[in-house]
Structures are given as C-alpha cells and as structure tokens.
Structure 1
Amino acid sequence: MGGEMMEPEIRKWYLVKETVESAMGRADNGQPLVKVASAVVIKNPVAGRYVEDLSPMVEMSGILGPKLVGRLAEAVTEPIESYGKAVLIGTNGDQEQGVALITTVFGNLFREQVGGGKAWISSMTKVVPTGASIDVPLAHKDALYVRSHYDGMTLTFPDAPYPDELVMIAVVATRGRINARLGGPKASEITGVDGLS
C-alpha cells in the first residue's frame, strides 16, 4: 500500500435500532433498553492479497468513524451507557484487515462522539461469507467491571459483505440488561477513574 492515504469506497449504510421493553414479563421500572447499530459497507482495498503495512486502512477508519458514529448520535436521544465495535471481513480478506479499521484511531473518535468513555471498547472481527451474522459485544463505556452492562447485539446484513468488502460496525446501548441481578458495581457507583470500576 506504500503508506498512501485511502479514500473509502462506500456501497451502503445501515442503521438498526432495537428496543427491549421487558424480559420474563418484567419491565424493570419501565425503562426500556435501547440498542442502536450503525454500519457501513465498503470495498476492501487490499482484498485478495497479503499486505504488510495496514496503516493506510487505520487512517481510513479516521475518515469513516465520524460519519459512522455520528449516525448513532442522531438516532439515540437517551444518554449512552455502553458501546462496542466490530468488523465483518469478506472471504477475500483476512482478520487483520478488519482489525485495522477499529484500532485506537477509530476508538478515540467513538469515545468523543458518545460523550467520552474511560473503558476499552469491546470488539469482534471475523472473516465470513455474505449474509453471516455477528455478535457485537457491549460493555459500560466508563467502567468495564459493571456486570449489568455485559451484553451484545446480533446483526446480519443479507447482502454483505461480498468477498471483496468489509462491514464496519459501531453499537451503543442506553442502559444495562433488563432485570440484571448478578451483583458487582452498579452504574450509579462508577468512579470513572481507571476504566475498570
């Protein structure tokens, strides 16, 4: 790739919103759990070949990131409490190419646009055939040890990724699981100092 800047070739955008009102017949104080995913399908500029230097793809994530996460901010009116990220890689790519899109460059942009975040962002990447699903992990954005927010969102894109494409995904949620009851620090008790508790 020679280190040159790459402009992403975008095929389509997705925005998926899920609202959970209750679980096991309990509404949990009437506060729904809202999860929103923003995804972009792009051509993999290095599909079908091994490339040692993936830094131009890392830089490309800086172009895609603001638009990808900006769509989340527009779709969620409640405060965001948890987040996660993922990439689906078409079969003519490898996992490193997907990981390149969600490193620190993208992570820092993600944090900025959701009102900050002390905790590392849970992630998942995998090489898949077209139409495969992915479970995007979620955790509290300021404290990883808050068990109530260990969650995820399952996503499927029926016509993506094609073998020479990548699907870059960002997910947020407005609260922890409905009726979470497994102990540990509560979201209301977060110190927000080290990203853990």
Structure 2
Amino acid sequence: MRTKNFGEFHIRKWYLQVEDTLANETGVLADGDPVRKIVIGAAIHNAFSGRFVDDLSAWVRESAALGEEFGKRLNSAIGNAHVASYGKACIVGAAGEYEHGNALLTTVFADPVRSAIGGAKAWIPSTGKRGSPGSAIDIPLAHKDELYVRSHYDTISAMFADAPNPDEIVIAFAFATRGRLHSRLGGPQAP
C-alpha cells in the first residue's frame, strides 16, 4: 500500500522536459521566436492495478487537483512565454488497464490546466498506451483555441526513464509556445 501524498494519489515522481528549437531540420533559423516545448509528467501509483474496477468516477473527480498542480508547474516552467498549443498522454504500467490512465485525462483534469494558461477553447488531443519503465510516447499538439490551425499540428516525444512501474501510471501534459517553424501549409491562421 502506498501512502497518499497528494490528495487521493500517491505521486512517486514529477518530471519536467524542456526543449527549444532554434532552426528547422534543414538548418534554416527560426522565423521568429524559437519553439519552446514543455512536458510535465507525474508517476502516480495505480490504486486499481491488477483488478477490474467498474466505476472509475471517483478518480475522474479527484483528477482536478492533479490538473491544478500541472497548471502551477507549467506556469513556473514557462516564465513569460505564452502557451499556443497543447496535448496530453498517459502510459499505464503492465498491471493496469489503459482505461485507468484515461480516467486521469478527462476534462475534469484538463480544465484547471486551461485556466492556468489563461483559457483555451479547443479540445486537447491525447494519446496513451501501456508500457514499462523507459517507454517513449509521442504526445500530439494542436492549437489551444482553434483545432484546425495546421501550423500548430505537432508532436513531442517524451520518455520517463524509471516509469511507469507495473503498478503506476505516468500522466503527461505537453505545451508549445508557437506553431512549427516555417509552417506553410495554408488553412486557418492562429487567432
């Protein structure tokens, strides 16, 4: 049994990944500010490991506190920059169900993050899978206010070297400060 250290959850570890892209793949320098991408993750004990639980609604409700903490950590990491796009993901350890991770990624979790970035209108793309420590995941990104802004369709890869253990879930939120460098595919523009 793990001692709860964050509301109804036991968090073993927090993760922060920051990358700044100064030039595109061909070496052409940024057309404006560099792209800063941030991933915040948490390795959380999966209280439902090894068993089927019919009702996950209590976990969904409790995930609001996680969203608030993710928002605080993002604001600490991003400084004076602004979030232009976002995405979320989960990696569920082998003793858990994919549904356990999804229970932590609903709107209840996401709305406090939206508030922390000053509001957002578009749905948040997400992905997930089951995996073992060191599993990588590609987190999709899309514009925070307008889903169909092509310039902001992007991805960031994240890896959590020592998580998830079989009885854990890694939840992650990814953010970017702008769209891709030198995007030129047309379509709606960022609001």
Give TM-score scaled by structure 1 length: 0.90
Name 2:3's counterpart in structure 1.
Answer: none
- Cα contact 2:64–2:110 (8 A) shared by 1: no
Residue pairs, 1:105-144, within 5 angstroms:
105-144=108-147
Q: Distance in 2 between matches of 1:28 and 1:45?
A: 45
Match of 1:37 among 36, 39, 45: 39
Number of residue-to-residue matches in the alignment:
183
Aligned residue number for residue 183 of structure 1: 186
Structure 1: gaps (5+ residues): 1-5, 191-197
Segments of 4+ in structure 1 off by > 4 A?
A: none
Contact 1:21 1:30 in 2 (8 A): no
Q: Structure 1 residue 14 and structure 2 residue 15: aligned?
A: yes
Per-residue deviation at 1:28?
A: 2.9
**Residue aligned with 1:110, SS:** helix
Look up the equivalent residue of 2:187 and give its one-letter code.
G
* Equivalent position to 2:86, from 77, 83, 86: 83
Superposition RMSD on alpha carbons, in Å? 1.1
| Offset from partner CA, 1:130-174 (integer Å, 9 cap, x none) | 211000110000000100000011000111000000011111100
Larger mean CA deviation between 46-55 and 73-82 belongs to: 73-82
State yes or no: 1:50 paired with 2:36.
no
Residues 69 and 170 in structure 1, CA contact (< 8 A), matched pair in contact too: no
Instruction: Output the amino acid matched with 2:55.
Output: D
Give the letter for the 2:112 counterpart: L
Secondary structure in 2 matching 1:88: strand
Which residue in the other structure is 1:170 paired with? 173
Counterpart CA distance in 2 for 1:89 and 1:13 is 16
What corresponds to 1:195 in structure 2?
A: none
Q: What code does the residue aligned with 2:189 have?
A: K
What secondary structure does 2:181 align onto? Answer: coil
Aligned residue number for residue 100 of structure 2: 97
Counterpart for residue 3 of structure 1? none
The one-letter amino acid of 1:18's match is: E
Per the normalisation by structure 2, the TM-score is: 0.93
Give unmatched runs, 5+ long, in structure 2: 1-6
8 A contact 1:37–1:172 mirrored in 2: yes
Question: Residue 113 of structure 2 aligns to a residue in which SS?
Answer: helix
3-state SS of paired residue (1:80): coil
- Once the two structures are TM-superposed, the CA of residue 21 in structure 1 deviates from its matched residue by 0.3
- Paired residue type of 2:147: L
Spell out, residue by residue over 1:90-140, the C-alpha distance to the aligned partner (whole angstroms, 9 max, x if none). 010111111000111012112111111110000011111221100011000
- For the residue of structure 2 that corresponds to 1:184, the secondary structure is coil
